Structure 1
């Protein structure tokens, strides 16, 4: 049926290339070669590629980086097959893709297929003729083959490429695919297209900040390419009505959205490219301009007159009008538009402090202890605590404001200080006068933010999650760190460049009360919960699993401990408190164990539960870093450690060797350890001490005061 030359270009794709090559080498169609052009990669890509010995893989390493266009042209020159097929190094194919294309190309010079976003696409190996659609694109419909402006997922006869001298324009980077694809579709009468079945899958971008894919680059970087390719293709193929229309809409739509939005924030982007924009728009068919809205039509006339300032004002007005139209669709959108347009322009209240813990879910964690120290020190601020569903019992009688209420938007906009232990809403605008104190909420064991390769959470993608996290972390003025180990991780994972407060966690200050006060508080907490005063307390505080969920924000968790057996053997001496992560939504059934099992998941402050507890059972939750400050025994119930370590998040520390307690695989092993807790303490004494010295060295009971001294204004009203 003919050999296929797969042209694969690679530049710094160490996180993706193995998946890409696996998808190619496991194709059901076997008669192909892979022309791999390593475009002078500087990461581990070259070493990974060199590890392959499949004879179908023909590797060419370039000494200097030449860009994707020239790399592909080089690949075309090396191709010896009857067909050519392009693949990007961060994408992958379904196993049947090449076979499906070669079976359906017939006498056509090329065949194309849809391009899918990977990650959530299910691929079935059981396919038949009714599994996909095959349709012919003719005449003006052929432009539908220019999916995502990409040249990938086309199978093209090599003699057709040679006959029409199809090449990628090496002067362009971001839109170079159109310089190949447009002449490819123009010079054939019809194009068969396979749709309805995943064939080519775009890989997720694992590092959208430091190593974004081409289309994620900034508008100002892409503009020269856009104008250049538009101008060149318009002059060469503008006589084809469908191509002319496609190019005009490409330019006009990019102008209407991307250029307009960018210019509103950075006017210089418009001014720097004004002449190129003017020249390109002069080539747009007049009829196409007439179909734009009245404001945009006026802008085009102003552009041709060279009136830059008037164009910018018109853009700002049009953008604002579009936002307001969208805002009136839903109440929360309207509130956010009022917030963006008016509230953030109101005067900042210099003595106003807005505090929230876990998005308003509690009065707890480091924000609580910073607040209480501020009140105790008689700092005269106006305090506002954010709550999610119901108000909290908070000393000092601060004002409480419900999250996402109209009052919330007002106080968010006008508070001088934000204090939070988790991310604020994406829409929050951090004004220059605002001081944002981020306390975070734990010493990291599991990979965080930019250090995570893939993000497996419902309702988001790796790219979206990391971009949103980066946008958030750039707002932080101060970030609290509990130890040197965390400081190094936070700098990298959060890409945080402002002031790190290496003072320990304010939430741990309570753990450094004197022994008499600790004992008194422990009894008070027991009494408030209803735990018998003569019983010891085991605290079970596991983390959540990223990949176990019902839906967005609703995670599930199955308790693997045999609570009934624990009650039988430990009930005379102990009770057990369950503290499930706030992201876990399942109701926990403790029927029949009311005198032994206490569900403390909704208890306001976990630091008080540490004081309450004599033994901690956890897994990969960061709670053990904090609990270690008490020098009480810790057991690790790690029944799924291989999956969690290798597949889900990965660990920063050498958890299995550094953990200050035993790693236990079964409920019976946990039970045995509790019954022999004295021996466990003796066996792990040296390891516990080393752990304490490394991870608890900054905590001393005064972290909250140290934070206040460095963040808040020293004078009192």
Structure 2
């Protein structure tokens, strides 16, 4: 008994490597791998060569990209095995999956065997060191109709992957997508005994990069609905009644969810691609099946049985309108967005209005603050300034218009103002007017991998990368602090270099201010820190895998403040500054004489000025703090996990950072007590770091930006 594993490949060599590695680790050797190159643009020979001595691999090529069906058929036709197993090149399997399937096939005398699928954002290595909660598992019953069709997350995820089947059946190559459904129906129709194998685990990788890997989101294809209709018609040629009933229910569950997209198609598309193709199939659905559908599914099915396209369109439009109305009534944010599009965009644009927003309206800080203050000082009578700030107690000079984020006035001002200066991404629904100018200051030199430089982002939405891509297309300018950042921003945002302003960060202008010592003294007094005390700033970042919800992260303090107070309390005080994404509040009760929690302090640049030492982990604060040339310590107690599992870095944190990596509280205390030796030890590395990352900062970044964006 020999198995041929068919792996079609088009794009994503880092995914393919995980896939092949999982096959090389299988507990049996009685299998071959048929790797089908489907119009491949990447060089994969070296990757394949690494595994040739571990398993039998045959590489075959399609002359042109022709879809999964043709690629799989080519794999089947070049196979030597008695059984076929399909594995997508961006997925991987557990080490004993093939052995478990083969054993089950023999023991049960089965015609086909299917296994369990787990869904994850993690790569092959990281998946097997995480807790059970890090992935999702579909519930399995042992009833193949439920497991393979009804309980799939959605209709397009009905798949033949993780099935061991007898060789002989081919796919319909006319179907570019949805070819699995008719293939599965033929497998079922020719099988007497289909068995579930719990031990055969297939790991399906979730993705959120529809820009660089568009095949992962084929719902946007122009021929999407035509392909769906053809697939369904092909399926019914040889499908049994019970399978058809299951597919029908899953199909209309899917259609009722996707109705908004259907409704928005043009009339010609309706005529050719949607109605005519689906109508022929819908006519075959029994009343009993229709009665078992949801209300919207029943409405669509009965309308689709009619011979007139207008009836189907009216029902689709009615369902879409009803859902939109419910959302408008229930969702205040959606109501305001609707008002913006329907009402405020009819107003004229104000060319001298500038909106500023820092950290989602939480602060008066960052580069936005210093651009504003330069404009206020030099051109204050030429502009109307609007600040998005949620806390009315925050002091802002110059008496600007103050608005709360997502208030009625917020929508009014962001729609009418010509300029918007922001250090974060704008709301995904924001529709920038043609003459508006969006200045993206960003909020730090990138250390951690961002957006398109990350494999996949498991704490984000499935559409994350598509959303960021769309948002960044509306940035007229993006500020860079150094050549390194310019290169990264081009990569991580897929952004045009010509629109990047290499000016330095305005937020660092204060670090070069001639009166910075006086400013530091006033900040120190404001926080109640004695003049004679030295200050340690501890500014950790969040962990991607520890969160309550999007943008709300957990944080467990690893720095032992009580121990530090015992050892350093006579000479130092600690400023605790957690990241603005961290939802947990750190309790420092009883340590007020040693610790000041400044997590809600508006502008971290003030804290840099009064700090003698900065301790951080993977936060980008050290890039800014380095402008002061003061000591930096790195408390990297979870370095291996953060670097290899969660994010990854753009630089070598072991070789490039201007200070020691410390892993225990004892090491922290020892470094602080010997800070002069640390400074001397890292002097040359600090100089190199400063030249690489701080060379643009000179106290005049805001001036350069204002002259380029607002006055040029």
Q: Report the secondary structure of 2:330's partner residue.
A: coil
| Counterpart Cα distance in 2 of 1:558 and 1:442 | 23
Cα drift, residue 263 of structure 1: 7.3
Stretch moving more, 677-686 or 94-103: 94-103
Cα drift, residue 530 of structure 1:
0.7
Shift in alpha-carbon separation, 1:365–1:36, aligned structure 2, 3 A: same
Please point out which of 686, 689, 697 is paired with 1:688.
686
The answer to whether the Cα contact below 8 Å between 1:118 and 1:202 also exists between their aligned partners in 2 is yes
- Retained in 1: the 8 A contact 2:446–2:485? yes
Q: Find the counterpart in structure 1 of residue 367 from structure 2.
A: 366
Hey, what does 2:453 align to over in structure 1?
A: 451
Counterparts of 1:395 and 1:575 in 2: how far apart (Å)?
A: 30
Give per-residue Cα distances to partners, 1:246-295, cap 9 Å, x unaligned.
7878887877765853774x85xx64684344542452445869987889
- Is 1:135 aligned to 2:134, yes or no? no
Equivalence for 1:84: 84
Alignment of 1:499-648 (within 5 A): 499-514=499-514, 517-549=515-547, 552-648=550-646
Equivalent position of 2:163 in the other structure: 154
* Cα separation, partners in 2 of 1:218 and 1:542, compared to 1, 3 Å: same
Extract unaligned runs of 5+ from structure 1.
125-130
Cα separation, 1, equivalents of 2:100 and 2:37: 28
3-state SS in 1 of match to 2:649: coil
Q: Distance in 2 between matches of 1:9 and 1:626?
A: 46
Structure 1 pair 183–443 and aligned structure 2 pair: CA distance change class (3 A): same
C-alpha deviations, 1:56-93, integer Å up to 9, x for none?
43322427455432321122223333322211111223
Distance across 2 between alignment mates of 1:257 and 1:47: 43
1:199/1:340 CA distance change after superposition, 3 Å: farther
Tell me how far 1:324 sits from its aligned partner. 1.7
Aligned partners of 1:657, 1:251: CA distance in 2, in Å? 54
Q: For residue 354 of structure 2, what is the aligned residue in structure 1?
A: 353
Give the 3-state SS of the residue equivalent to 1:355 in structure 2: strand
Corresponding position of 2:261: 261
Aligned to 2:35: 36
Q: How far off its partner does 1:528 sit?
A: 0.8
Cα pair distance change 1:346/1:223, threshold 3 Å: farther
Paired position in structure 1 for 2:475: 476
Alpha-carbon spacing, 1:19–1:708, altered in 2? closer, same or farther (3 Å):
same
Note the C-alpha offset of 1:625. Answer: 1.3
The root-mean-square deviation of aligned C-alpha atoms, in Å, is 3.8
Displacement of 1:581 after TM fit?
Answer: 1.4
1:329 match:
330
Q: What displacement does 1:390 show?
A: 5.2
- Per the alignment, residue 14 of structure 2 pairs with 15
CA distance in 2 between partners of 1:547 and 1:143 (Å) = 31
SS of the residue aligned with 1:369? helix
Residues 68-467 of structure 1 mapped to structure 2, 5 A cutoff = 68-95=68-95, 97-98=97-98, 101-102=101-102, 106-113=108-115, 115-119=117-121, 133-135=141-143, 137=145, 148-158=157-167, 161=168, 166-188=169-191, 191-192=194-195, 199-205=201-207, 207-216=209-218, 218-220=220-222, 222-223=224-225, 225-230=227-232, 232-233=234-235, 236-237=237-238, 261=261, 264=264, 267=266, 271=268, 274-277=271-274, 279-286=276-283, 319-376=320-377, 377-388=379-390, 391-457=393-459, 460=460, 463-467=462-466
Q: Is the 8 A contact 1:344 1:429 kept in 2?
A: no
Query: Deviation of residue 40 (structure 1)?
Result: 5.7
C-alpha separation in 2, matches of 1:286 and 1:132: 31
Unaligned 5+ runs, structure 2: 133-138, 291-296
Counterparts of 1:180 and 1:684, CA distance in 2: 64
Which residue is equivalent to 1:127?
Answer: none
Distance change >3 Å, CA 198–CA 549, structure 1 → 2: farther
1-side partners of 2:156 and 2:118: how far apart? 10
**C-alpha distance 422-147 of structure 1, shift in aligned 2 (>3 A):** closer
Query: 1:230–1:344: structure 2 CA closer, same or farther, 3 Å change rule?
Result: farther
Give the 3 Å change call, closer, same or farther, for CA 598–583 of structure 1 in structure 2: same
Determine the C-alpha separation between the residues in 1 that align with 2:550 and 2:118. 22
1:417–1:437 CA contact under 8 A, matched in 2? yes
Alpha carbons 1:39, 1:65 under 8 Å: kept? yes
Equivalent residue pairs, number: 684
Distance in 2, Cα, partners of 1:63 & 1:256: 37
TM, length-normalised to structure 1: 0.83
Equivalent-residue separation in structure 2 for 1:313 and 1:411 (angstroms): 37
Contact persistence 1:350–1:415 (CA under 8 A): yes
Cα 1:40–1:509 change in 2 (3 A) is same
- Once the 2 structures are TM-superposed, how far is the Cα of residue 233 of structure 1 from its aligned partner? 4.5
How far 1:111 moved relative to its partner? 3.7
Query: Separation in 2 of the partners of 1:707 and 1:272?
Result: 47
- In structure 2, relative to structure 1, the CA distance for the partners of 1:585 and 1:652 (3 Å cut) is same
- Greater shift, 699-708 or 221-230, is seen at 221-230
Distance 1:192 1:561, change over 3 A: closer
Query: Offset at 1:531?
Result: 0.9
* 2:136 alignment partner in structure 1: none
